[in-house]
Structure 1
Amino acid sequence: MMQKYDVVVIGGGPAGGQVARNLAKKGHRILLVERFPSFLDNNFSSAGMTLAPLKEFDLPNKVIGAYWKNITIQCTKNSYFWKGNTNKGVVLDYGKLKQFLADDAKSFGGEVLTGYKYISKKVNEKSVIVSLQKAKSTEIIEVESKLVVDATGPLRKVMYDDKEVQPTMNLGSGTEYLIEVAPEIYEKYKDQLVFFLGHKWAIKGYSWIFPMEQNILKVGAGKTHLKSLNQENTDKTTKKITEQIIKEYLKCDTYKLLDVHGGILRYSEGLKDKFYNNKVIAVGDSVSAINPRGGEGIRYAMQSANLACVYIDEYLVKGTTNFDNYRKKWRRRKLFKWRLSEVSSQRMYSKYTDVQIENRVQFFHENFSTDVLIDSLFNFKYNQVVLRFFQLIRLKIEFAFKKDRF
């Protein structure tokens, strides 16, 4: 007989796992579907964040790869260092995070199905029939659900049927190497995040070095596919940039390559995504829940999952809810900050020259503390930046006035 569920969640990433975890705790019958045989597969995420999400989502120590307290921004010419006296954030083990969320859902009665991919859906008045295909076979199973959650990320496979027109998307892509290095190299980078800006180290985006557990580093590069006004044509790829950082910046001639992974990003400028349609609710990257400037997505994916669950739970308990409010509330919380981040990223990645990038990073380094930098990069808090900007304008005006007088 066809298995019946309250909610089928398609996609076992942070957003999908958080939905399954939340709803299972509420006592709903949940099926979490992951297309890879293991949650340790498809492990692309730099996964750097502040400490706040650990408490916000009640995450255990076992999902932490490393702590960080310092930040370095390497431009084409110079390097700028911000020192933190205490731990400021973590780099998560992305695979272990996904596994934990799935296991937590199972501990509250949820079911997990790995190695099956979404094929199609049939929506009727009372439910949705979801077709799933087992990996590397022709076996197809069907399950029935009151609601389906699209947590398939940038593909948005459940919300949009094949060939259905989607909103205009900004595209991004990236490559990341997980490498084991000599202890003396690891010691230099074990407690800091390193970001690379400028044409030498990035292609219309940024690159990074993040620490993990003992002697292991994440090294990667991401690019946007925005039209560039100032960057010259190049045959470099994110893979070549990653290898260049390992060789020239880390000066690491020998290392053990543990994993190579990559991914794409499809982001709807202005958050024009569908959040709900015909018994399908989207979360995470499926609704562009990602920092458009820095690419950070785990925290916002899980926040979107938490908000969606409020309306899903109400629907399952009462038989009705207004899913339009899910989209309205998310946009009310995020749209203005996302717009600022969009403008900032477009200028930095596609318009500024190396000199302009260098000048702006140098200005930030001379005027703002580590905590202000972190608030700007991760938390969209610009109050101190704006205040300092106007203070400097006022000082320049006062200086010009005094110069005219004397």
Structure 2
Amino acid sequence: MKENVYDVVVIGGGPAGGQTARVLSKKGIKVLLVEKYVSFKLNNFSSAGMTLAPLEEFQLPESVVGAYWKDLVIQCTKDIHIWKGEVKKGVVLNFQKLREFLAEETLKNGGTVLMGYKYLSKKLIDNHVEITLQNSSNKELKKVKSKIVVDATGPLRKVMFDANEQQPEMILGSGTEYEIEVSQEIYDKYKDKLLFFLGHKWAIKGYSWIFPMENRILKVGAGKTHLKSLDQDKTDKTTRSITEKIISEYLQAKDYKIVDKHGGIIRYSKGLKDIFYKDKVVGVGDAISAINPRGGEGIRYAMQSGSLAAIYIQGYLETGKDNFKEYRKVWLKQKSKKWKLSEYSAARMYSKYSDVQIENRIRFFHKNFSIDDMIDSLFNFKYNNVLFRALQYSYVKLIYFFKNEKF
């Protein structure tokens, strides 16, 4: 077994891990980024729809953009609602190329990238962590030592928690996504749109979507929360069957080609009770629930967590002082209120609302909010306009009720 020594070892080459390694390596810190797949093509699981802001925020090149969108569309069981944009409002990133870019940046900055090795275990030895990795192909073991380890393994939190170790209570979610090649005619109908499905016909305890990618390529998927709900609990629908139904019945794509199929789970800590740091392990991305619980952007917030964690990792390496409680404190100050509002909204929309309630709610949004209001709510967690008008609407309904109710 070969052994190497690093300042920081990042386990997981997703957006959070890649951004952490990229930032640290740029600061001259000796970093190893470990990815369990031999190629980023083999783990292309994110739909990656977002606004334009992350392109500038993280200085992302045009090469990682799959497509731009300008219209926002929500299809309910009965009605469709379209918010038209006059200019580009956002992007759908190519998830594979994004992670490749972050890894290449790490290499360019002097870091090391190890592909095709999965994490097995860790052991505290003196002032270092000894990490055992295994080659995914030939099962060869490799040991590396690090002053600190970053857990970017996603919702399973494999590095932060040893096998069978108790974790905070989690809310579960799961999803399926097909990347398909369609006719030019079908692609042109959806190339400028982010299309979401709500309601019991096209979704179950969650939402479904159609996102554009490169010419003639669409991403079609469905996600669900594993929460108690109304009559949806009795259904035999799965996220796979919903995805296939959208392709066959909604898109009416007959001669499409499947480019890729993928799926995954989300384990989200309600109230953000995650462990951010323990025994020289720092969590980033999904390992600290850095994902919008209602939907929307997950990649942006994963990368933000990596950038923030890098500040405290650098401080630790320079001073030897553990200040990771501040990392958690700053993150919660920035996100916790917005996340709790998003949790509340998701629970109501996905597990409590009937079809009629969903239709009425989206109809109200369409009547009262512009596309920029909707983007602020869905992607940027700016609820001021939406909450104010929703409260006005609820007040009017309440007055109407008391005026017309007979006691």
TM category, shorter: over 0.9
SS of the equivalent of 1:308 reads helix
Q: Give the Å deviation of 1:400.
A: 10
**Who is 2:142 aligned against?**
141
1:65-144 correspondence to structure 2 within 5 Å:
65-144=66-145
Identity of aligned residues (%): 65
Q: Give the Å deviation of 1:389.
A: 2.9
Q: Give the Å deviation of 1:401.
A: 11
Alpha-carbon separation, structure 1, partners of 2:5 and 2:63: 33
SS of the equivalent of 1:333 reads helix
Cα pair distance change 1:232/1:125, threshold 3 Å: closer
Q: Give the Å deviation of 1:399.
A: 8.8
**Who is 1:359 aligned against?**
360
SS of the equivalent of 1:161 reads coil
Alpha-carbon separation, structure 2, partners of 1:11 and 1:340: 29
Cα pair distance change 1:241/1:252, threshold 3 Å: same
Amino acid of the residue matched to residue 41 of structure 1? L
1:160-309 correspondence to structure 2 within 5 Å:
160-294=161-295, 296-309=297-310
Amino acid of the residue matched to residue 111 of structure 2? G
Cα pair distance change 1:120/1:399, threshold 3 Å: closer
Alpha-carbon separation, structure 1, partners of 2:115 and 2:181: 29
**Who is 2:340 aligned against?**
339
Alpha-carbon separation, structure 2, partners of 1:290 and 1:131: 29
Cα pair distance change 1:207/1:398, threshold 3 Å: closer
Amino acid of the residue matched to residue 111 of structure 1? T
SS of the equivalent of 1:173 reads strand
SS of the equivalent of 1:218 reads strand
Alpha-carbon separation, structure 2, partners of 1:144 and 1:259: 36
Cα pair distance change 1:161/1:399, threshold 3 Å: closer
User: Is the 1:231–1:353 contact (alpha carbons within 8 Å) kept by the matching residues of 2?
Assistant: no
Q: Give the Å deviation of 1:295.
A: 5.3
**Who is 2:387 aligned against?**
386
Amino acid of the residue matched to residue 171 of structure 1? L
User: Is the 1:48–1:296 contact (alpha carbons within 8 Å) kept by the matching residues of 2?
Assistant: yes
**Who is 1:158 aligned against?**
159
Cα pair distance change 1:234/1:29, threshold 3 Å: same
Amino acid of the residue matched to residue 39 of structure 1? F
Alpha-carbon separation, structure 1, partners of 2:357 and 2:244: 26
Amino acid of the residue matched to residue 70 of structure 1? D
Unaligned runs of 5+ in 2: none
Q: Give the Å deviation of 1:2.
A: 2.2
Unaligned runs of 5+ in 1: none
Cα pair distance change 1:80/1:148, threshold 3 Å: same
Amino acid of the residue matched to residue 342 of structure 1? E
Q: Give the Å deviation of 1:236.
A: 1.4
Amino acid of the residue matched to residue 372 of structure 2? D
Alpha-carbon separation, structure 2, partners of 1:213 and 1:157: 34
Q: Give the Å deviation of 1:388.
A: 1.9
Alpha-carbon separation, structure 2, partners of 1:373 and 1:291: 15
SS of the equivalent of 1:198 reads coil
Q: TM-score, normalised by structure 1?
A: 0.96
Cα deviations by residue, 1:277-327 (Å, 9 ceiling, x for unpaired): 010000000000000001531000001111101100111112223111111
User: Is the 2:10–2:32 contact (alpha carbons within 8 Å) kept by the matching residues of 1?
Assistant: yes
Amino acid of the residue matched to residue 96 of structure 1? K
User: Is the 2:202–2:242 contact (alpha carbons within 8 Å) kept by the matching residues of 1?
Assistant: yes
Q: Give the Å deviation of 1:398.
A: 9.0
Flag as ranges the 4+ runs of structure 1 deviating above 6 A.
394-403
Alpha-carbon separation, structure 1, partners of 2:241 and 2:386: 35
**Who is 1:329 aligned against?**
330
**Who is 1:318 aligned against?**
319
**Who is 1:52 aligned against?**
53
Cα pair distance change 1:185/1:333, threshold 3 Å: same
Alpha-carbon separation, structure 1, partners of 2:214 and 2:205: 30
Alpha-carbon separation, structure 1, partners of 2:105 and 2:78: 47
SS of the equivalent of 1:171 reads strand
Q: TM-score, normalised by structure 2?
A: 0.96
Amino acid of the residue matched to residue 334 of structure 1? K
Alpha-carbon separation, structure 2, partners of 1:246 and 1:230: 25
SS of the equivalent of 2:295 reads coil
Amino acid of the residue matched to residue 54 of structure 2? P
User: Is the 2:296–2:379 contact (alpha carbons within 8 Å) kept by the matching residues of 1?
Assistant: no
User: Is the 2:296–2:378 contact (alpha carbons within 8 Å) kept by the matching residues of 1?
Assistant: no
Alpha-carbon separation, structure 2, partners of 1:396 and 1:242: 37
